[in-house]
Amino acid sequence: MAAIDQNGYAIQYASEEIRNDREIVKRSISRAGCALRYIAEELKQDREIVMEAVNENAMALADVCNYFGNDREIVSLAVNTDGNIIRFASPELRNDKEIAMQALKKKGMSIKYLSENLRNDKEVAMQALQSCGITGRSFGLYIHTKESPLDYLSESVRNEIEYEMNMR
């Protein structure tokens, strides 16, 4: 127990009985959300535990996306910390404009994980560009960069945005 109190990841070395103990698991993940990967499978399906783990470290969603990738509240909590976590969301939530905009505000490049439908939405595209610091002045520079949100837009949306940027 002392080891888990010092380092939540210590649970990976604990017995199966300890990894099944809800209270000990809660102590562990409150210190290290990604320790979720080492707990009993049954507890990985416990919404309260998952919420606490994701609150401590958004990346914890990766280990339980098969159970909670379609849980709007949990995914929202995760993407509000790290927009790229949207890649672990269900296809339905990767097509949800509200969730997508939350992710894009944190990380513009998370556009690459969104549905094709949303990648072709001008408002979504503009948020991605804004989050990456792409403005009218710098727009031309990003057309030829290694990777930018522009790479994930349809040609028609890209042309429309390029036209608008050049008009400013």
Phi then psi for 125, rounded to 5 degrees?
-60, -45
C-alpha–C-alpha distance, residues 7 and 58, integer Å: 18
Give the C-alpha distances (Å, rounded to integers) separating 21 from 18, 25, 63, 98, 104: 5, 6, 19, 36, 37
According to the model, what pLDDT value does residue 41 have? 97
Higher-pLDDT residue of 165 and 33 is 33
Average pLDDT over residues 61-73: 98
* pLDDT band at residue 146 using 50, 70 and 90 as cut-offs: low
Report d(CA 51, CA 38) in Å as an integer. Answer: 16
Average pLDDT value for residue range 67-78 = 98
Residue 139's pLDDT is 44
Average pLDDT of the residues in 150-161 = 76
Q: What amino acid is encoded at 34 in this protein? A: C
CA 110/CA 144 separation, integer angstroms: 19
- Residue 152 has a pLDDT of 76
Collapsed DSSP state (helix, strand, coil) of residue 57 = coil
- What stretch of H or E contains 105? helix 97-106
Helices and strands, number each (H, E), in the chain: 12, 0
pLDDT of residue 167: 57
Residue 65 has pLDDT above 90, yes or no: yes
Give the C-alpha separation, 63 to 54, whole Å. 10
pLDDT digits (tens, 9 = 90+) for 1-40: 788 989 999 999 999 999 999 999 999 999 999 999 999 9
**How many CB atoms lie under 10 A from the CB of residue 17?**
9
Say how many C-beta atoms besides its own lie within 10 A of residue 83's C-beta.
25
- For residues 152 and 6, the model is more confident at 6
pLDDT at 156: 78
Read off the pLDDT of residues 85-144 as tens digits, 9 standing for 90 and up: 999 999 999 999 999 999 999 999 999 999 999 998 989 988 988 887 765 444 444 445
